[in-house]
Structure 1
Amino acid sequence: MDTTALRRYLLINPNTNALTTQRLSDVLQPQLPPGVLLDVQTARFGAPYIACEASHAVAAHACLDVWTEHRGTPGNALAGVLIGCFGDPGLFALREVSGCPVTGLAEASFIQASTQGPFAIVTGGERWKPMLQRLAISLGYGAQLRHIETVAPTGAALQANPEMAIRCLSQACQNAAQSGAASIILGGAGLAGYARLLQAHCPVPLIDSAQAGWEVLHGQLAPKAPTDHDGFYAPWVGLPPAFIQVPDKVNPGN
C-alpha cells in the first residue's frame, strides 16, 4: 500500500496508561474506511489516569508534546487530531496551533448528543463533575447538559474490572435517565465500547464517547482550525526544540 496517499489522523491518549490507548485502538481501528490511517499515541509523561484539575493541566501539556513530535516527522501531514480523553485537555491550545480540525471525546459527544435534545453524562471519578460542567459551558452546551452521574470507581478501575463496570454503570445510566435527558453520554476513554453492552439496560440512547470522537472528526463536524497553518505563537524556554517552531504568520498577542 502507498502510505503517502493515506488520509492520516492522530489520536492522542493524554494519560500514560498504554492499556487505555490499546482500548481506544481496539474500538476505533476496525471502523476505519479504506485509505485512512489512525495513528494512536500515548502521552510520554503525566498521570496514568486523569482524575483531577492538576492531572488535567499536565495532560494538556502532554497532548501538545505528542503533537509537536508527530508534526516534526516528515510525511505526517494530518487530516485531524482527536484527544482521547473525556475532558479534552489541551483542546483550545491544540485547535489554535493545528492547521487541521481538532476535537476531543467530550466535545464530540456534546455535538452528537445535542442533536437529540438535552443530555446527561455518566462517567467514572467524582472529581470530574465540576470539570465537565465547566467544559460544557465553555463549549456552549451548558444549557443542554441536564445531569452528570459520576460513579465512585475511576475510569481506570472500571476498565480493569469489566464485570463490576457493567453493574455499576448500568445503575448509573438508569439514574441518569430519570433526569429527563434524551440521551446519555458514556464518557471516558477507558469505557470505549461499553455503550453497546449497556444499551439494553438503559431506556434512552447511549453515546459512546470514543465512537463519537471519531465520527465527528472524520465526518468533518469538528470545529475547524482558526488558521490554515500550524505552529506556536510564543517563544519557549526549557521545552524540546519542536516547541520552538512558529507559524509563518504570528499574531503579536497582548
Structure 2
Amino acid sequence: MPRLLVINPNTSAAVSALLQQHVQAVAGEALAVQTTTARFGAPYIASEAGYAVANHAVLDAWAAEVAKNGRPDAVLIGCFGDPGLFALREGAGVPVGGLAEAAFSAAAWHGRFAIVTGGDRWRPMLARLAHALGHTQTLAGIHTVAPTGAQLAADPVGARRLLAEACCQAAERFGAQAVILGGAGLAGMAADIASQVPVPLIDSVQAGAQWAVEALKRKEAAGSGFGVDWQNVSWELAALD
C-alpha cells in the first residue's frame, strides 16, 4: 500500500493527531497515512516569523523521516499556508502537496473563492501564497477572524458559530462561488457548518487528503535531489543529497 507522509510544520501533537485522523479517514484503504510533527518551531504557526522557521522545520522533518523509515510515496504539508512546499518539491523525489494549494484548486472548480481562517496575520501571507500558486484572479478575498487556529480548536462550539458567520460574510462580501475553511486545527468543522453557508465550503484538510490520493493515482513527476552542501543543520538534513 502506498505510504503518505503528513508533515505537521508546527510542534503541536494535538494538531498532528487531528491531521492523522482526518487524512486517514479520507484516504481509507488507498493510502497508509503517517503523520510526523516538527521537531522545532512554533506550537501553532500564526506569524511571519513562525512561518519562516516552519520552512526549515518541514525540510528537517522530511530528512528525519527518510533517515528513519525511508522515502514515502508522497508528502502532504499539514498547514494551511504550505511552508516548505516549493523547497521540498524541488528535491524530495516524490509528489509534494499542501493544504492550501489543494484547497485552492478544489475551490477554483466552483469559480472565484474566498478564504476564511483564524489569525489576522495570515491575510498577507495567504495572499502571497495564492499569487505564487497562480490564483491571483481566482481568489476573491480573505476573511480572517481574530482567534488563531489553535484558539479556535480549543473552543469547538464557539468556533463553529464564529466560523459559520464568517463564511457567510465572506461569500456575500466577496461575491465568492466557494469558500475555503483553512487550517489544520479546523479539520472536520466545515462538515458541521456547511449547511449554514450559501456556497460550497471546502475543508482544507479534506482537500489535501484528496490531492494525495489522486496524485498517487496519476504518478505525478517529482524533482529529486537538493544539491546543497548543508552546514550546521541536523545530521539527517546534512545527509540529504
TM tier, smaller = over 0.9
Q: 1: CA distance between counterparts of 2:155 and 2:240?
A: 44
Q: 2: CA distance between counterparts of 1:246 and 1:30?
A: 32
Structure-2 residue corresponding to 1:166: 160
Match of 2:93 among 75, 78, 99: 99
Match of 2:137 among 140, 143, 156: 143
Structure 1 residue 46 corresponds to structure 2 residue 38:
no
After superposition, give the CA deviation of every residue in 1:88-113 in whole Å (9 maximum; x if it has no partner): 00000000011111011000001111
Structure-2 residue corresponding to 1:121: 115
Match of 1:214 among 188, 209, 213: 209
Give the structure with higher Rg (CA): 1
Ranges in structure 2 where 5+ consecutive residues have no aligned partner: none
SS of structure 2 residue aligned to 1:12:
strand
Structure-2 residue corresponding to 1:198: 193
- Structure 1 residue 140 displacement after superposition: 0.3
Which deviates more, 33-42 or 153-162? 33-42
Structure-2 residue corresponding to 1:241: 235
How many residue pairs align between the two structures? 239
Structure 1 residue 17 corresponds to structure 2 residue 23:
no
Higher helix proportion: 2
Q: 1: CA distance between counterparts of 2:185 and 2:219?
A: 25
- Structure 1 residue 233 displacement after superposition: 1.2
- Structure 1 residue 225 displacement after superposition: 4.8
Q: 2: CA distance between counterparts of 1:206 and 1:121?
A: 10
Q: 2: CA distance between counterparts of 1:144 and 1:241?
A: 42
Would you say the 8 A contact 2:27–2:209 is kept in 1? no
SS of structure 1 residue aligned to 2:76:
strand
After superposition, give the CA deviation of every residue in 1:12-52 in whole Å (9 maximum; x if it has no partner): 11011111111111222223332521110111110001011
SS of structure 1 residue aligned to 2:68:
coil
Q: 2: CA distance between counterparts of 1:124 and 1:79?
A: 31
Q: Normalising by structure 1, what TM-score?
A: 0.90
Would you say the 8 A contact 1:187–1:208 is kept in 2? yes
- Residue type at the aligned position of 2:37: T
